[in-house]
Amino acid sequence: MLNLESGGHEAEAIQAGREIISKLREAEVELAKGQTVPAVCKKIEVSKQTYYRWRKEYGGLKIEQAKRFKDLERENARLKKLAADQALDIAILKEAAGPNL
């Protein structure tokens, strides 16, 4: 079972990305042979929903690109949290200062 929420373990996340891309490539080959999406999903052992989600997120990416994409997603989440914390600090300081500002 693939686990993308690897708790910060970069090697596990990279391996999961490789597995996803590998399964998507296998699916593309089978679809090109005329297989149906449900049959392909059964062969690569994922649900149709997972297949379409993966295809939307990883379709056409190479392993290195997928790794970079995940790194950027993590950095974006970190920066959003930092901005939210900073906005909260500013609001607290304004409230503490009262009508003096």
29 to each of 26, 44, 86, how far by Cα in Å? 5, 12, 49
The average confidence (pLDDT) of the chain is 83
Greater model confidence, 36 or 5 = 36
**Residue (of 18, 6, 8) closest to 66 by Cα position:** 18
| Rounded Cα gap, residues 78 and 63, in angstroms | 23
Model confidence, pTM: 0.54
Q: What tokens appear for 90 in the block?
A: 């500013």
**How do residues 12-23 score in pLDDT, each as one tens digit?**
766 677 888 889
**In this predicted structure, what is the pLDDT of residue 1?**
43
Q: Which residue has the higher pLDDT, 32 or 67?
A: 32
Written as one string, the DSSP assignment of the chain is: ---S--TT-HHHHHHHHHHHHHHHHHHHHHHHTT--HHHHHHHHT--HHHHHHHHHHHTT--HHHHHHHHHHHHHHHHHHHHHHHHHHHHHHHHHHHGGG-
Confidence (pLDDT) at 100? 66
pLDDT, tens only, 29-56? 999 999 999 999 999 999 999 999 988 8
Spatial distance between the Cα atoms of 33 and 18, rounded to a whole number of angstroms: 23
